[in-house]
């Protein structure tokens, strides 16, 4: 305490010698820029602590005056966390704002652009590639879901209703950006070049599966495509993504990390730890929340009392935006701008995409037990992001019914062929269960392997014949 008082007195004396000095920092009424327009960062005005900030121009340290008065004339004190003004009234912050935070949108329900909406322009080639990938993802979900129902694969979950989130966000990233997904983002991997055959290989766990059959279906991953392998535990990928983003910053890479998660993931401690970690480290990353209304069977009303997820970004000092997750152009524009801010300004960005999970949580779930079927049907038909985006593409004269039929037929045939190939492909051997963790397999794992082989010999009928022992 004595040392702190000495340092504080020294700063005060230095301030008096300098005279009044520069005025105190102020916060503008809004620190969120218009899309595509860089903003001068004033959100760090709360804290005058100096520390390593890399090359971020927005992180420069500024000294505050030590005259004990704010610009308004109110008495203030420089606490360790920053200078604060005193007031005589006892005011508690309200539990929520009087009005909900607005939702950014470009396309209306009929696929027309909203008057005066601002968005990132897309070329014809990019627009058609995005639409083609959305259709492919939609068909892929339908066929693989049916394959699970036929008993050909053990598990599956779909992205129905969230195709725009998958494809549009992926299109706004670069190949150098690192992706840490949850499990409902196969479209991001599809956009990056993961083939339908590679998807099928993983689902069937065959010899060409990069995970060697050790992961359950839909747990895709690709080192080649900078796509971390899906992990079942909820929200564990969030703090990991911050570490990946910070490594990009230290290496001075012109890239960012992006992590996806659902509204249910925000109830995990890892979510809060990750946001605070990213804000303090000024990591170039994007937190992308798919607020689809349901964490399996738990509705958002039972998840939190705040105005969704977007308000939590501000609480941690993170620039945030809420958007229509079923609007392909809104998703693309927001992620494109967020990426630029994250990299050039050295900061994390939080995106809350409002959408709806049209399908069941997975093939292990029957969502009609906890939500009305007509609600699901309404979102499947009236709010379908693929149909909505198609109307916009057709309105530009870039697409027609003939092209639609040809695309869907080609994708379906390619998928059916991929399934046939994946089914015939041999499985990995049993020994692969014990590899790729230690350089030299320890004795206790060797003992477990011998015990497993002995069990199989004693009960051969209980073990699948298509897996080499």
**Residue of 344 and 21 predicted with greater confidence:** 344
Q: How far apart are CA 25 and CA 85, in angstroms?
A: 12
Homologous superfamily of domain range 124-424: Thiamin diphosphate (ThDP)-binding fold, Pyr/PP domains (3.40.50.970)
Contact 86, 94 (CB under 8 A): no
Q: Is pLDDT at 310 greater than 60 in this prediction?
A: yes
pLDDT digits (tens, 9 = 90+) for 235-271: 999 999 999 999 999 999 999 999 999 999 999 999 9
Q: Is pLDDT at 56 greater than 90 in this prediction?
A: no
pLDDT for position 59 = 44
How would DSSP label each residue in 248-260? HHHTT-S--EEEE
**Which stretches of 195-268 are DSSP H helices?**
196-204, 237-250
pLDDT band of residue 76 (cuts 50, 70, 90) is confident
- The active-site residue out of 28, 96, 154, 232 is 232
- The active-site residue out of 146, 302, 375, 377 is 146
**Residue ranges per structural domain of the chain:** 124-424, 430-462
- The active-site residue out of 198, 362, 367, 428 is 362
Q: Is pLDDT at 219 greater than 60 in this prediction?
A: yes
pLDDT band of residue 467 (cuts 50, 70, 90) is confident
Provide CB contacts within 8 A for 223, sequence distance 6+: 210
Specify the pairing of strand 82-85 against strand 76-79: antiparallel
Q: Is pLDDT at 207 greater than 70 in this prediction?
A: yes
Arithmetic mean of pLDDT over the chain? 88
pLDDT for position 29 = 35
- The active-site residue out of 198, 361, 367, 428 is 361
pLDDT for position 67 = 52
Maximal C-alpha separation, the chain: 89
Number of CB atoms found within 10 A of residue 109's CB = 13
pLDDT band of residue 50 (cuts 50, 70, 90) is very low
Q: 66 catalytic, yes or no?
A: no
Q: What is the mean pLDDT of residues 73-93?
A: 85
pLDDT digits (tens, 9 = 90+) for 409-439: 999 999 999 999 999 999 999 889 999 989 9
pLDDT band of residue 443 (cuts 50, 70, 90) is very high
Q: 146 catalytic, yes or no?
A: yes
Say what percent of the chain tops pLDDT 90.
76
Q: Look at the alpha carbons of 175, 177, 179, 185 in this order and tell me if their dihedral is positive or negative.
A: negative
pLDDT for position 96 = 82
Q: Is 208 helix (H, G, I), strand (E, B) or coil?
A: coil
Specify the pairing of strand 319-324 against strand 257-262: unpaired
Provide CB contacts within 8 A for 129, sequence distance 6+: 171
Instruction: Judge residue 122's burial from the number of C-beta atoms within 10 Å of its C-beta, 0-12 exposed, 13-18 middle, 19 or more buried.
Output: buried
Number of CB atoms found within 10 A of residue 315's CB = 13
pLDDT for position 74 = 73
pLDDT for position 30 = 40
Backbone angles phi, psi at 119, to 5 degrees: -155, 165
pLDDT for position 71 = 58
pLDDT for position 104 = 98
**Residue of 323 and 52 predicted with greater confidence:** 323
Say what percent of the chain tops pLDDT 70.
84
Q: 362 catalytic, yes or no?
A: yes
This prediction has a pTM of 0.84
pLDDT digits (tens, 9 = 90+) for 118-166: 999 999 999 999 999 999 999 999 999 999 999 999 999 999 999 999 9
**Residue of 7 and 178 predicted with greater confidence:** 178
Q: Is pLDDT at 275 greater than 90 in this prediction?
A: yes
CA-to-CA separations, 109 to 150, 171, 328, 389, 432, in angstroms, rounded:
35, 22, 12, 9, 50
């Amino acid at each position: 305490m004595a040392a702190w008082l000495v340092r504080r007195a020294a700063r005060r004396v230095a301030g008096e010698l300098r005279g009044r000095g520069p005025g105190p920092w102020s916060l503008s009424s809004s620190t969120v820029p218009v899309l595509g327009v860089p903003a001068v960062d004033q959100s760090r005005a709360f804290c005058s602590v100096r520390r390593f900030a890399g090359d971020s121009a927005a992180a420069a340290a500024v000294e505050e005056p030590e005259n004990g008065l704010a610009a308004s004339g109110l008495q203030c004190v420089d606490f360790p966390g920053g200078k604060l003004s005193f007031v005589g009234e006892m005011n508690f912050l309200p539990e929520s704002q009087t009005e909900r935070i607005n939702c950014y949108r470009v396309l209306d329900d009929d696929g027309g652009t909203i008057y005066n909406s601002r968005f990132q322009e897309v070329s014809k080639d990019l627009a058609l590639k995005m639409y083609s990938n959305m259709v492919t993802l939609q068909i892929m979900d339908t066929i693989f879901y049916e394959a699970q129902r036929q008993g050909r694969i053990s598990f599956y979950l779909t992205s129905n209703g969230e195709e725009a989130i998958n494809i549009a966000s992926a299109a706004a990233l670069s190949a150098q950006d690192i992706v840490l997904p949850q499990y409902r983002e196969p479209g991001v991997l599809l956009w990056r070049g993961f083939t339908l055959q590679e998807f099928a290989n993983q689902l069937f766990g065959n010899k060409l599966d990069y995970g060697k059959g050790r992961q359950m279906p839909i747990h895709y991953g690709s080192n080649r495509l900078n796509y971390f392998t899906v992990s079942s535990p909820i929200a564990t990928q969030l703090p990991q993504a911050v570490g990946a983003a910070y490594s990009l910053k230290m290496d001075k890479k012109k890239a960012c990390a992006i992590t996806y998660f659902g509204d249910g993931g925000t109830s995990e401690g890892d979510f809060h730890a990750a946001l605070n970690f990213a804000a303090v480290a000024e990591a170039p990353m994007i937190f992308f929340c798919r607020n689809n209304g349901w964490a399996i069977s738990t509705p958002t009303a039972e998840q939190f009392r705040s105005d969704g997820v977007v308000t939590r970004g501000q609480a941690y000092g993170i620039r945030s935006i809420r958007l229509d997750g079923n609007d392909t152009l809104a998703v693309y524009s927001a992620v494109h701008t967020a990426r630029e801010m994250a990299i050039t300004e050295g900061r994390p960005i939080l995106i809350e995409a409002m959408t709806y999970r049209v399908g069941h949580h997975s093939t292990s779930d029957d969502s009609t037990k906890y939500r009305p079927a007509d609600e699901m049907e309404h979102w499947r038909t009236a709010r379908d992001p693929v149909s909505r985006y198609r109307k916009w593409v057709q309105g530009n004269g870039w697409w027609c019914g003939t092209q639609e039929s040809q695309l869907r037929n080609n994708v379906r045939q390619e998928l059916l062929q991929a399934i046939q190939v994946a089914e015939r492909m041999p499985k990995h051997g049993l020994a692969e269960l014990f590899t790729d963790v230690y350089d030299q397999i320890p004795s206790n794992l060797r003992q477990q392997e011998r015990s497993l082989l002995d069990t199989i010999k004693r009960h051969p009928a209980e073990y699948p014949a298509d897996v080499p022992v």
